[in-house]
Amino acid sequence: MNDKNDMARIDTERWVATEREARVDTEPGSVSTRADATRSVHILSKTVSDRIAAGEVVERPASIVKELVENAIDAGATTISVEIREGGLQLIRVGDNGSGMTRDDAELSVERFATSKISSERDLQTVRTLGFRGEALPSIAAVSQFEMLTRDKGNVQGTRIRIVDERKELDVAGAPIGTLITARELFYNVPARKKFLKAPLRETELVTKIVSQYALAYPRIGFRLAVDGKDSLLAPPSSPLERIGAVWSREAASEMIAVEYESFDLKVRGFISKPSFARASRDWQNFFVNGRPIRSGLLAVMLERPYAGRLPENRHPLAVIHIELDPQYVDVNVHPRKAEVRFFQERSIYGATQQAVEHALRDFPFTQNAEGMEWPFANVPESSFGALRETQAEYRAGTWRALGQIHNTYLLAQTPDGFVIVDQHAAQEQIYFERLTGGGQETAISTLQSPVISLMPNEALLVNAHLDEYRALGIDVEPFGANTFRVSALPDFVKLSAREALDILVMEHDKYRALDGDALRDKLASKLACGSALKAGDALTLEQQQNLLNELLEIYSPATCPHGRPTFVYVTLEELERRFLRS
């Protein structure tokens, strides 16, 4: 057996060497471009392949979709279609109308380190294509039931390649110009890797995020995403702003402003949201370097720095930012999934981004941050007033008489044998929580005439999958088209708009996506109660204070809020007398 393997290895090395010698005189010295889609496929030399960071990585369905979409873009496609079933575990199908491949190139493309995008070490330093580590097809074929159908414009017949369990079948087939790749039963032959995948809903969200990113990056390319037989995203070729409307929503597109900066060989362009339109997370921030989606915490900081004083705390702007520069000044080969890059002139890049955003926001005034008063004893050591944190004492639910408000944050009330200090936010939060979960009095429902609310595709998937949990809270939400919803009723104590209420619930839902049923309902109820309750700094009349105290004493669990913080501190008359040395 070892002799056979050695002979096979020697034959392969001889064949690769022959191929390399045959092409040594044709290695291009010019920079590879995305438009150069007709270059033939070939095996990379060992010198080049050894310098590549980690080869293609197939971790989950989203990574396969990413590689295939990148191949389609590099092939000059103007239309890309993605279809998945069961989160991509059962089926992934990506089709494009790009340049396609000849029969010889198609057969060679499923060999490891075969690529049409680079030829020499120099090309690694000036990468303009999205892919450069091989076409990823061998890695996909190794963990799925693989099929490829392709035809280039120079042939009237196409080529079909099937690979299952390392057995390759090559046939002639009718096909349009372009490439259609299908991967079925992902990880069917590697069950250990399948165990580490998330639920189909989560895998679908990750695929949706990838397709949405590339749709935003390439508005001149039409994108379609179908999930379990239903179209989830339809984005025909359009302008950049129209594409934002197709991927996010028309509401989001109407709130965007253009960003533009240019200096020598560096250009920053795109769109950012007005300060009046923000989100609770950075999921809506997209950065592209020479058309490649990247992650960058520093770029996010540079984006948000000019918003300081214009945005409330814990709110983040939306952004689609393109950074274009000479490829030799950016290293795209530093991350296994090509999700991060290294700039050779970082200060210039970050400074240009901040300057572009500052210029775009020049007409938007700074606003006073009125989130509430600062705690006046913030610098006093806790030990100085530790006795007032005594929560172990027993209390008796009797009549609590409101005496007043302390710093518009705490209520002071007299009890039959002492006094209590009540955190007005925590108290009302617990009252609302018990109403939402059925532990308190029945919640009245207010009907609404709300406008249609657009969500990101991954957010829409979450809501559609858990409509019952939302409705159990008294939130009447119903689908109203692709990624859009209408909220027709909310609990009467919720003073938030339908848009604000759904935003905070979806954000909380995303953090606890693994939950469902009562567990998810309780998390959503806690968040909605928190967002609807009184805040520090809210002034109350004596009557309002008394009503809040009465409601607190009537609920099932008045001592703590849904997050576990105490709602009140109880001090007995005996404790007061002891402190004043009256005992």
Q: Is 242 a domain residue? A: no
- What pLDDT score was predicted for residue 383? 47
* Same domain as 441, residue 351: no
Most confident of 15-19, 120-124, 428-432, 503-507: 428-432
pLDDT category of residue 336 using cuts at 50, 70 and 90: low
Is the pLDDT confidence value at 11 over 90?
Answer: no
Does residue 159 register a pLDDT over 50? yes
pLDDT number for residue 48:
57
pLDDT in tens, 162-203: 999 889 999 999 999 999 999 999 998 888 888 888 889 889
% of the chain exceeding 90 in pLDDT:
41
Are 204 and 65 in contact by the 8 Å Cβ rule? The answer is no
Same domain, 418 and 324: no
State the chain's mean pLDDT as an integer.
Answer: 82
pLDDT at 127: 66
Residue 539 has pLDDT above 70, yes or no: yes
Whose structure tokens read 């991954």?
A: 458
Instruction: Specify the long-range contacts of residues 299-306, CB closer than 8 Å, at least 24 apart.
Output: 299/349, 299/350, 299/353, 302/350, 302/351, 302/353, 302/354, 302/357, 303/272, 303/353, 303/354, 303/357, 305/354, 305/357, 306/354, 306/357, 306/358, 306/361
Give CA–CA dist 521/507, Å, rounded. Answer: 14
What's the mean pLDDT in 40-48?
64
CB atoms within 10 A of CB 378: 6
312 shares a domain with 218: no
Beta strands in 416-479 (DSSP E): 418-423, 445-447, 453-454, 476-479
Q: Please count the other Cβ atoms lying within 10 Å of the Cβ belonging to residue 154.
A: 10
C-beta neighbour count of 575 within 10 angstroms: 17
Q: Is residue 3 part of a domain?
A: no
Task: Report, as an integer, the average pLDDT of 503-511.
Answer: 88
- Pairwise CA distance, residues 397 & 555, whole Å: 11
Single residue among 217, 237, 257 that ends a domain in this structure? 237
Provide the pLDDT for residue 89: 94
Would residue 12 count as lying in a domain? no
Q: Which helix (H) or strand (E) holds 121?
A: helix 121-125
> What are 257's two structure tokens?
């402003």
Q: Which of 248, 256, 334 is nearest to 292 (CA)?
A: 334
- Considering the domain architecture, whether residues 521 and 410 belong to the same structural domain is answered as yes
**Cα(124)–Cα(133) distance, integer angstroms:** 10
Sign of dihedral through CA atoms 196, 202, 204, 210?
Answer: negative
- Among 148, 114, 106, 118, which residue's Cα sits nearest to residue 134? 114
Q: Which residue has the higher pLDDT, 439 or 570?
A: 570
Q: Give the model's pLDDT for residue 324.
A: 92
Is the residue at 13 inside a domain?
no
Q: What strands, in cross-sheet order, belong to the sheet with 266-273? A: 256-263, 266-273, 319-324, 285-289, 292-294
Same domain, 324 and 409: no
Is 60 exceeded by the pLDDT of residue 257?
Answer: yes
CA distance 404 to 408: 9
pLDDT at 439 over 60: no
The answer as to whether 397 is a domain residue is yes
pLDDT at 401 over 90: yes
CA distance 391 to 519: 28
Q: Is the pLDDT of residue 306 over 60?
A: yes
Q: Kindly state the average pLDDT of the residues 29-55.
A: 51
pLDDT at 570 over 60: yes
- How large is the average pLDDT for residues 480-491? 86
Cα 163 to Cα 54, 97, 110, 469: the distances in Å are 24, 23, 9, 44
Using only C-alpha atoms, what is the Rg of the chain?
Answer: 30
Go through the chain and tell me how many residues it has. Answer: 583
Q: Would you place residue 52 in the very low, low, confident or very high pLDDT band (cuts 50, 70, 90)?
A: very low
Please report which confidence band the pLDDT of residue 530 belongs to, taking 50, 70 and 90 as the band edges. very high
Of 449, 388, 457, residue with least CA distance to 418: 388
Report if residue 9 sits inside a domain.
no
Which of residues 237, 259, 285 is at a domain's end? 237
Residue 44 has what pLDDT? Answer: 65
Same domain, 40 and 178: yes
Q: What is the predicted pLDDT for the residue at 386?
A: 43
Mean pLDDT score, 554-570: 89
Q: Are 304 and 226 members of one domain?
A: no
pLDDT surpassing 80 at residue 347: yes
CATH number of the domain encompassing residue 197: 3.30.565.10
Residues 183 and 214 in one domain: yes
Q: pLDDT at residue 5 above 90?
A: no
Calculate mean pLDDT across residues 343-356.
Answer: 86
Question: Tokens at residue 299, please?
Answer: 């770029």
Would you say residue 27 lies in a domain? Answer: no
Q: Which of 237, 264, 296 is the last residue of a domain?
A: 237
- Average of pLDDT values for 286-313? 88
The reply to whether 494 and 416 lie within a common domain is yes
Share of the chain above pLDDT 70, in %: 78
Confidence at residue 484, expressed as pLDDT on a 0 to 100 scale: 87
Residue by residue, what is the 3-state secondary structure of 413-433?
A: EEECCEEEEEEHHHHHHHHHH
For residues 65-77, give the mean pLDDT. 93
Asked whether 105 and 114 are in contact (CB, 8 A), the reply is no
Residues 410-421: tens digit of each pLDDT? 999 999 889 999
In the predicted model, what is the mean pLDDT of residues 352-359? Answer: 93
- 4: its two tokens: 């056979």
Read off the pLDDT band of 408 (50, 70, 90): very high
Q: Which CATH number do you get for residue 518?
A: 3.30.1540.20
Q: Which residue has the tokens 């009503």?
A: 547
Burial class of 353 by CB neighbour count within 10 A (0 to 12, 13 to 18, 19+): buried
Q: Looking at residue 281, which CATH number applies to its domain?
A: 3.30.230.10
Amino acid at 285: Q
pLDDT of residue 457: 81
pLDDT at 132: 54
Residue 575 tokens read as 């404790």
Asked if residue 381 has pLDDT above 90, the reply is no
Claim to verify: residue 224 and residue 293 sit in the same structural domain: no
If asked whether residues 110 and 164 sit together in one domain, one would say yes
Which domain does 135 fall in, by range?
Answer: 33-237
State pLDDT tens for residues 111-128.
877 777 666 666 666 666
| Residue environment code for 42-54, b if the CB has 16+ CB neighbours within 10 A, otherwise e | bbbbeebeeebee
Quickly tell me which residue has 């567990």 as its tokens. Answer: 519
Alpha helices in 188-305 (DSSP H): 191-194, 200-217, 240-247, 250-254, 297-304
Please tell me the total count of domains within the chain. Answer: 3
d(CA 322, CA 290): 7
**Residue 34 pLDDT greater than 90, yes or no:** no
Residue 133 — very low, low, confident or very high, per pLDDT cuts 50/70/90? very low
How many Cβ atoms from other residues are within 10 Å of residue 336's Cβ? 15
The verdict on residue 487 lying in a domain is: yes
Please give the structure tokens belonging to residue 6.
């050695």
Closest CA to 321 of 292, 278, 362, 361: 292
Residue type, 519: A
Same domain for 319 and 406, yes or no, is no
Cβ-proximal residues to 176 (8 Å cutoff; 6+ apart), any chain: 97, 151, 158
- Model-level pTM? 0.68
Give the H/E segment covering residue 458: helix 457-465
